[in-house]
Structures are given as structure tokens and as C-alpha cells.
Structure 1
Amino acid sequence: MSTYYSSTKYEGPEVIVVAMDIGTTHSAVSFAHFSPGCHLQGKMVAHWPGQAHWNGAVKTPSMVSYRDGVVKACGAEAVQDFEEDPENVAYWFKLHLHPAMVSEPSYSQQFEIPPLPAGISIERVYADLMRYLMDNTKRFFQTTTPDGSQIWERLCDSIVFVLATPNGWDIREQVILRKAAIMASLVTEENAGQLLQFITEAEASVHYAIANQSFEWLKKNTVFAVVDCGGSTVDTTVYRCVSTDPLSLKEVCPSECVQAGGIFVNREAKKMLEMKLKGSLFDDPEIIRSMLNAFESELKPQFDGAIDEYSLKIGSIADSDPQLRINKGRITLSNEDLKPVFNGIIDKILASCSITIRHNAEYVILVGGFAESPYVRKVLSNKLDRHFIQTITVGDYAKKAAAEGAIITRIKQFVVARAARATFGGCVRPIYDRKLHSDRRHMIQTYADGKERVDGAFHVWIPKGTVLQGTSAHKLPYHVAWDATSTQRKELTGRLGKIGIEVFAYEGSSIPTWCKDENGEVVEGMRLICTLNADLSALAGGLQIRTGPRETRFYRVDYNVCVYFGGTQLHAKLQWNEKGVIREGPVTVMPYVS
């Protein structure tokens, strides 16, 4: 469906919300005008340059072409440039952002990511495509919304942007997208924190699924999963229904993200065709490329493994080769040729779906372009049926579930609790504990407060798998100290102006003791997410000298790390008391789920 209506009238401030899903192969945009006293309506942008308006397709190719370092065309208009000059076209560029935990070594060795055009950065590509998507969103809004031009001009400086991203992406990828959004003039440095938001593709997809199909099967305490099969990643999230009226969903475990989308089938198809045609008159890169285009548009959407043979266009009607089973410009491919092209990728999807089995899911909802493949649906359904899991397919191949679901999420929030995908915590200097820190006994140092401490320990804030509600908040006490005998009071202003604590994430199931090794390097498996900074220099003048063990004299400053849940992310900040007034440092936003 191309629109979504809320059941109640909106009573908040007037604002336009634009949601973008920039996929590996295609992109899409949804939007809503939040007008007080009205029933909210979500819409998909359905008119893109170079594409027929009558077919209602909401997707546009994720391509940007360049000429002499200047953007030439985007979307469907860049496809022609790709066919003529692929080196100057950015395509499948989303793969450049996939973190190591998504891009597995087996694929990084076998799968060559297409290079970006010379001199063009990944931020630049995203910015150019975002600007293109926004220009066409503006045009579509103004022509399909009553008084659209006046509304847009009135609210254009306060538009809220929501970007859908894979489950496995976190703050590193969000920083790049934020820079791109600023380059594209969607937001500014000053208002990006307020107007630019992120949602996982999995959460957007569950809203799309619920809004686009009947869910009489969904009862209180029903456990189900949404598997979003995209172009380059497959995201799996398991939910439990908390209530049906109103509908409320709760994540029951950390979500999964695996690099096993539709483009990998294309690559397997390419290898199969190259092997089959090797040494023949048809062993030509241009012919292979043309065949892959035909595979993508003709064979891939219809292949279901039910018949023995399928045909694929390979050339003109005059082209024939009986030995290769080529007749009148079409090659015949068997099930034995085609099934292996799909099976390796499907096996990876099934492995990621194992969490649905572990958590006794009763249903699996399939969404995403790759899930429209009849063969993918059939194999997944048969495999999951053995575990008494019913498969439900939702959607329309012409749609983008994450794009439509992102705006539905803003209109009607079904998910009320989410599970931490990693263990988050800070790098600290704890008091030496002979049981916990025996391996670093040789690194004990007596610090300014007179206590024996060791560096590089991991202080857990939120363990992996913790289900966080909308009101969850944590306040953790910290302090820093300086030797009063060697530190002049006037030096404290400078030192207090550089207070910070490093934040780490750990993906494993256990909780490690250390986040840094003995040389101060990040240990394997840990990821430095960000550093929380604050300027506490105003406290310097009022610090009192304290006395610790062994008559040590030191200055001490106490502060809190405040971690709280908001939407699909963690917000963290430093907080301190300044002359009886609670002060807070800037808020740092960290993704914590999916």
C-alpha cells in the first residue's frame, strides 16, 4: 500500500518527517506531514526521473554517475551511464560502509567491492544521492499535498530526517551518514543532533509488516521474527507481543545481521556463467554483463526450482551453440546450474535465523526485495517448517519495506522495548583486585588518591541482551584525582577542561575484564565507540585538598556518567555539580540495538 493512516488524531507540533532507505541496489523515500488535529498519513515518493510514473514503483536505483568529479546523474538516469562508463558510476557503494562484523572474512576474500569513481569519497556519494532524493521528495510533496508548496516553505527548515540502516551498523557508520546529510544541506552542524535520526531496517520492517498484512495470528505473548532480506544484508529480529490493544512489541534478544543479500546471488550467477562460457565465442565481459542484467530482471524473480530448465537471453536471434545449449539467442540453464547460485546465500540466511529457533518463534515474516524470490521463499519456508515455524510473506517487489516502515514507525510506535546488541561500558582504572586483576599485578600503580589501581579495565554499563524500556536510565559515579603535592591549583583548570571517558562495545556473549592491553591498545573483540567529553574547568577554584591512605593529599572531582534509552539508541553524557547546580556535558548518541 502506498499510504498509511493513523487511527487517532495527531496533537503534537506541526512538522514534516522524511524517511530515507538508501539500499545497496535501490533507494526509496517516505514522508508524512504531522499536522495537529489530523489523522496522519504516510506516503511513498512514487515519481522518479527516468522512470515511468504509471507503474507506481517507489524504488530508484542507488547509483550516482560523475563527470570530471562533478555529479552528472542519479537513480535511473545514472543507469545508462553505468552501461557506457561504469568506472565513473558509484554503485553498490553501501558495501564500503559495512563493518567488519558484517563483512565476514570469507566474503571479503571472494567478493570484490566495486571501487568508487576516482577522487570521490563515500560521504560525497551519499551526499549527492541524498540531495537527489530530497529534491524529488520536495517536488512530490508539493504536487501531491494540498497547499504543498506553502506547507513545505513554512516547515522546510525544521524537517526531521530518519535514515534506515542495517542492524549491524553503529556509530561509525552514523557519523559518515551525518556528515553526508550535512554536505547535502539536509541538516546543519548545529541542528543535526535534533533533526537527523536513525532507525534500524529491522524495526522499520516490522512496522511495515504489521501495517501491510492481517495479523489475527498475533496474540499476547506470541513470539515471532521479522527477516528483512535486502540487497546486501539480511536482518533478523525476534519479538514478543506484549499486548494487542494497543499493539506493543518487545525485542526478546539481540538482533542478527548477516551479509547475505541479493547481490551475492548475482555474483554467484556471474561465476557460474563465466565458467559455463569459458573459452567459447560468448566468453566476453560485455556479453556476461548483458546476461547478468537479464538474470536480474527475468530469471531471478521467477526462478523457483520447480521445473527442470530455464532460459536466459544471451544475444541476438542469430546466436546458437548446441554444445552450450544456446538456441536463437537464449541459453538453457538447468536446476543443477541455478540452485547452487542461490543455496550458499540461503544457507547463511538460515544460519542467522537460528535465533528464531532458539527463542521458540512461532512465525517468521519475510520482507525485502530478496525475499520476493520464489526460490528463497520456498527453501526458507521448507526449512523453518521442520521446526514448526510458519513463514509469512509480506510486501510488493516494487516497494521498500524499510522506507515505508520508517515513516509508519513515526506515526504508530509498536516496539516498546529493544535488546542491546552488544555489551557497552567505559574504560576505567579500578582498585586492584587480586582475583580479577592478578594477570596485571606487575602493572599496579599507586595513584593520587593513595589507592593501588590498574589501567585498562572494562566497566560494564549495559550487558548484551539487556531489554531496555523507554524509561530505562543508568547513572554511574566516577571521579578523577590529582596529587596535591605536585599539582598547582592553577594547573587544574586546564586538566579539568579535558575530562573524558572512552566508551567501548563488546559483541561476545561473555564479559571481558579488560578493554585495553598492557600497552594501551584496544584488545581484540572490543570496539571503541566514542569518548564522552566535558569541560569541568569551572570547578577548579573550589576544589579542596583531601587526605587518603598513607596520608596522601589529593584533589578529587566527582561526576556521573548518565546513560539512558531514547528510541533506538543510547544517549550518554557527563553530569557534575557546580556550586549546587547540576551541569551536563553534551549528549552523545550511541546505537545500541540491531
Structure 2
Amino acid sequence: MPRYYSEEIYNGPEAISVAMDIGTTQSGVSFVHFSPGSQSESQMVTQWPDQAYWTDGAKVPSMVSYQNGALKACGAEALQDFDEYPDNVAYWFKLHLNLATISQSRISRSEIPPLPKGVTIEQVYADLMRYLMVNTQRFFEMTTPNGAEIWARLRDIMVIVLATPNGWDIREQAKLREAAIKASLVTKENAGHLLQFVTEAEASVHYALAQHSSQWLRNKTVFAVVDCGGSTIDTTIYRCMSTSPLSLYETCPSQCVQAGGIFVNREVQKLLEDKLKKSTFDDHEIIKSMIDVFEKDVKPKFNGVLSQYELKFGTLIDNDLPSGIERGTITLSNEELKPAFDAVVNEITASCSGVIVKQKAEYVLIVGGFGESPYLRNTLSQKLTPYGIQVVTVGDHVKKAAAEGAIISHIKQFVIARAARATFGGCVRSLYDRSLHHERKDAIEVYPDGSKRVNGTFHAWITKGTVLQGTFAYKLSYHVAWDATSTSKPELAHKLGDIGIEVFSWEGGNIPIWCKDEHGQILNGMRFICTLNANLSALAGGLQTITGRNGKRFYRVDYDVCVYFGGTRLRAKLQWKEKGILREGPVTIMPYVS
């Protein structure tokens, strides 16, 4: 199983970094041991409990089983429990972490498998993370000379990298951070710098370029990476800005659609339920066993060309000729299976082909488990070949592309500029503008400084599609004012308290004027991301006495909130001037939890 080797000799401090990709159906872990004076190399964990090396390789089932709310097993061991006690097993639980967007996807909330009774999504993630980490340590110690001593010495400074879908933001990251702390991967105190996130798309491009010869890659080459996972399909377009060293720019916002491999399974399950209705094999457990066989034996082979496919699920005495079952095998025709694949594959091609053609990509690199599907590859090729676009499948089917790509991106960062996937901004009180805010003239508030303002306006900080290189900084200038006739300056110094700025994202085209309606309710299409909280008590020394245009005296304090966007991370800080000296204070980011 090939590994990625850095071209450069590492000269920093000794360290270990671990990357995890917890997928809808499968998970994977990779790691790197940074050793001074040597080339850094990625390595996948390829040995898991109750799982043979040659069967699933670096993939482990994303399953966690419980008994009366207590953890019982993870991975392949939990898969065994699933056959007997499915209600006690958490599976497809990744879909629970982003319920806010489920209404926009091809699956309803009612179709998402419920978590075992008394178990939270954070607990499931924490239990699986702990399991992955324990077995990563075991594998490291087993495959590295003096591994136990090295691991123990570097454990407290270990960086953990988590791969997440393109469509996730700091709301989902907050839950993963909570789970990582609960799993003891990091502590609450060091999570800010030891826990990092990378999008699955960015991880996948690093994996693809490490695995595939880059002789085709030239300056200005535009190419796409389509990561076909279990539940999400991530599409990202890159332009090569330099080949030595290799540096890539995202050309436009990445795409993320819920149309992965599990939805093909769902369509085939519906097919089997209809086909076997009122037969002797009309049984949930029997159909489930057929889906298991389909997943392993038929799904990877289906190409839309063969006339029929066999699912061997039972014994020689299992027969029902009218239902197409003979000697424990059910035969499905190409005409039966093709609509099940088309329901998903057509959505994938519709999602990614438009942006690929528009950006004039020359190549499309397909990665991910469902990317191994010959029918998906053929359909996408037929769609893109007329435009002169070449579709290339990348990787090793036993690997988890995002898991290894996440650690490769940690070793060597190819992507140096990213496109904002949405417009981000804050909910503010804007100065009243008759041409923009006339519909809410009855909601005007007159402030102590004499200004007229309206609440609920959307102040865009960074617009969708903006290509950000490195860290993007935005300074938000604010002030607070009080009537000087009713309160003394010393009294106001004690009243300075907490402020909160609500942050929203908007994925549409034209930037809206409002983020909330007249009653303070969030408008449709606006996604509440987080609140920036800061305490203004330290600003007491900056209070000024000012006479307004209306002749009235008021107290005022000015401050800036500096927001920093960098990759998948958002940071902020408070700044103000006190007697001509620039001072700084902390801003706490409180993610919105639905």
C-alpha cells in the first residue's frame, strides 16, 4: 500500500499528528511521525479488531453499539451486534450532525436511522473517536521501533486533524470539538491549537495528487476533484498556480450535495421490498441481508451493461421462482437496477457537471468509496467528454481518501487560496437609509447621539466566491452611546458589559438587506452560524464626552471587532484605544446549536 513521502527533510521538533475521517459508512485514520532529519511520510492504520487486513484494509465500519445506553463495541464488532440488535447500534449517525440542512436534501429526517435510546450524537462521536485513537496507538506502537516510548512522550502535544464535508461549518465543528474533548483526544485548554479541521474536498485533492502522477499538471491547469462518499458528494475546482512548489487556488465555491452511495442502497431496498411483497421472503431481516450482499458484490460491479446480476444471500433450499429466487440467489436485471442507480447518479452529475464545465476544467479526479462505481464513472464521462474533459479515477479502493489526504495536507499544504462557499456577515443596527429601509420606517430607533437606526440588517463581511489567500481579516467598527444628562461617567464605567454580534451565512446570489424580520425571526435562507461575545468593561478608560448634531451631550465608546477567516477556522478579537494606546481583548465564539 503506497505511502506519501515529503520531498523535504523535516527539521522541526519531533511530533506525531493523527488525522481521522469519520464517514457515513466507513471511517479511516492516518498519521505521521515528524522526526528531525528524515522525510515525513503518511501512514494508514490498517489493522482493526475483528477485521482482516486483506478484507477492508484501512476502512473500519462507522458503527457503535450500546447496551442500556452504555458503550458495548465499535467498528467490526459493532457490525456483529447490528445483525442481532439493530436498535442498539448507531449507524449513519453522521447524518444527525447536520440536521439543519436535511430539509434541502434527498432524505427526510424520518428516514435517518435513530440513535440508540438514551445516546446523544456527541456521545457516539466521542466513543468512536476514542476507539479510533486507541487502535491508532496500538498500530503505531506495533509498527514503529520504540513506538510505545515515542507515543507516550509526544501524546500531550499531538495534533488531531478531523476531515469534514464541504457543507459543514463551525456549528458542526463545535460538536466535534466537544466530542474530541470527551474522548480525551484533546483537552478543553489545548483544543484551540491541537484540534484542526480540513474539508474532505481539500483532503481529497492532496490524496489525489499524492497518488496520481502529476505530469499532466501545468501552470494554469484547471481541474476538479469529486469526492464520492457514503452520504455526500463534494466537488471542488482548482487552478494550478505553480508546479514548483505545487500551489493550488480554488476557483469558485465548492459544491456539496447529499447523494452518496447509501442512497443507492436505499433505492435498491425499495426495489427488493416491492419485488418480494407477499412472498415467503417478504421479511425485513432477509432483505437487509440482500442489501449487505448488494453492497459488497453487486454495487461495485454494476456498469449498466450486463443484462443481469446475482445476489447470493441464502442456501440451496431457498427458492421462489416467481420472485426470481433460485437456490439462495436472487437475480436482478439491468432494467431493474438501472433506475435505482440513476436516481442518485443523475443528481450527482447534475450537481457537479455544471460547475466543472463552467470553470473550464480539463480533468476530473474521482475519489471516495462510491467513486469506485463503474456506472458513476461512465455516466460522468459521457456527460463531460463532449467538452474535452477527461475523467480519471484515483486511489486504492481499500483506502479512505479523505483520511490519508487529511494527513498529507498537514505534511505539505498544496492549497493556498480558498473560495468562500457563502456570504458571511453580521446582524447589525444600521443607520436608517430611506431608499433601503423604508419598509421598516416604523421600527426606527433614535440613539443618544441623534442617529436613526433600524435592527435586523445584514452587514456582509465577505461575499460568496471571494478567493481568500491565507487568512482574511475584517475589522468591524462599532460604538456605544448613552445620554449624558441621565447618567454620570463613573456610573457608566460600571455598566459596560457583554455585547454579542450574531454571525450569519447566505448561500444565495444577491446579498439581502435583512437577516431578521420585524419580529426578530431569522429569515428563510439565512443560516445562523455563531455569536461573537465580548465584555466591554475594559473599555471604561476610553469613554468620551461628545456633543451631537442635535446639541445634546452624550457619552460614547468606540471599539473594533476584528474577525479572521482562515481555511475552516474563524477567530476574532476586540480592539480599542485608551489614551492613544491600542489595546486588545478576547472575543468568545459561541456556535449556534439547533
Do residues 586 (structure 1) and 592 (structure 2) align?
no
- Offset at 1:13? 2.9
Partner residue in 1 for 2:264: 265
- Offset at 1:309? 1.1
Mapped partners of 2:147, 2:20: distance in 1: 20
RMSD over aligned Cα atoms: 1.8
Say whether the 8 Å CA contact 2:533–2:590 is kept in structure 1.
Answer: no
Matches within 5 A, 1:320-331: 320-331=319-330
Stretch of structure 1 that moved more, 205-214 or 525-534: 525-534
Say whether the 8 Å CA contact 1:474–1:562 is kept in structure 2.
Answer: yes
Say whether the 8 Å CA contact 2:533–2:588 is kept in structure 1.
Answer: no
Tell me the amino acid that sits aligned with residue 284 of structure 1. D
TM-aligned CA distance change 1:36 to 1:578, over 3 Å: farther
- Offset at 1:103? 5.1
Stretch of structure 1 that moved more, 480-489 or 549-558: 480-489
Partner residue in 1 for 2:306: 307
Partner residue in 2 for 1:448: 448
Mapped partners of 2:494, 2:106: distance in 1: 49
Stretch of structure 1 that moved more, 415-424 or 353-362: 353-362
- Offset at 1:499? 2.2
Partner residue in 2 for 1:131: 130
CA deviation vs aligned residue, 1:272-316 (integer Å, no higher than 9, x gap): 001011111111112111111111111111111221111112421
Percent identity of paired positions between Structure 1 and Structure 2: 64
Unaligned runs of 5+ residues in structure 2 are none
Partner residue in 2 for 1:424: 424
TM-aligned CA distance change 1:220 to 1:542, over 3 Å: closer
Mapped partners of 1:452, 1:285: distance in 2: 65
CA deviation vs aligned residue, 1:432-488 (integer Å, no higher than 9, x gap): 111111111222221121111111111111011100001532223222222222334
Partner residue in 2 for 1:296: 295
Stretch of structure 1 that moved more, 380-389 or 340-349: 380-389
Matches within 5 A, 1:531-550: 531-550=531-550
Unaligned runs of 5+ residues in structure 1 are none
Partner residue in 2 for 1:523: 523
Do residues 408 (structure 1) and 393 (structure 2) align?
no
Do residues 389 (structure 1) and 381 (structure 2) align?
no
Say whether the 8 Å CA contact 1:316–1:329 is kept in structure 2.
Answer: yes
Tell me the amino acid that sits aligned with residue 93 of structure 1. F
TM-score normalised according to structure 1 size: 0.96
Tell me the amino acid that sits aligned with residue 508 of structure 2. G
Say whether the 8 Å CA contact 1:13–1:35 is kept in structure 2.
Answer: yes
Stretch of structure 1 that moved more, 306-315 or 559-568: 559-568
Partner residue in 1 for 2:467: 467
SS in 2 for 1:480: strand
Say whether the 8 Å CA contact 1:10–1:35 is kept in structure 2.
Answer: yes
- Offset at 1:585? 1.5
Say whether the 8 Å CA contact 1:170–1:590 is kept in structure 2.
Answer: no
Partner residue in 1 for 2:334: 335
SS in 2 for 1:216: coil
SS in 2 for 1:348: helix
- Offset at 1:102? 5.6
Partner residue in 1 for 2:316: 317
Tell me the amino acid that sits aligned with residue 477 of structure 1. S
Matches within 5 A, 1:172-321: 172-321=171-320
SS in 2 for 1:304: coil
- Offset at 1:106? 4.4
Partner residue in 1 for 2:565: 565
Partner residue in 2 for 1:556: 556
Tell me the amino acid that sits aligned with residue 584 of structure 2. R
TM-aligned CA distance change 1:328 to 1:118, over 3 Å: same
Tell me the amino acid that sits aligned with residue 369 of structure 2. G
Partner residue in 2 for 1:369: 369
SS in 1 for 2:431: coil
Equivalences, count: 590
Partner residue in 1 for 2:344: 345
TM-aligned CA distance change 1:193 to 1:541, over 3 Å: same
Tell me the amino acid that sits aligned with residue 121 of structure 2. I
Tell me the amino acid that sits aligned with residue 5 of structure 1. Y
TM-aligned CA distance change 1:103 to 1:57, over 3 Å: farther
Tell me the amino acid that sits aligned with residue 414 of structure 1. F
Say whether the 8 Å CA contact 1:538–1:578 is kept in structure 2.
Answer: no
Say whether the 8 Å CA contact 1:418–1:468 is kept in structure 2.
Answer: yes
CA deviation vs aligned residue, 1:156-214 (integer Å, no higher than 9, x gap): 11111110000111121111111101110111111111111111000000000000011
Mapped partners of 1:57, 1:528: distance in 2: 40
- Offset at 1:150? 1.4
Mapped partners of 1:315, 1:36: distance in 2: 56
SS in 2 for 1:320: coil
Partner residue in 2 for 1:108: 108
TM-aligned CA distance change 1:470 to 1:271, over 3 Å: same
SS in 1 for 2:166: coil
Say whether the 8 Å CA contact 2:174–2:591 is kept in structure 1.
Answer: no
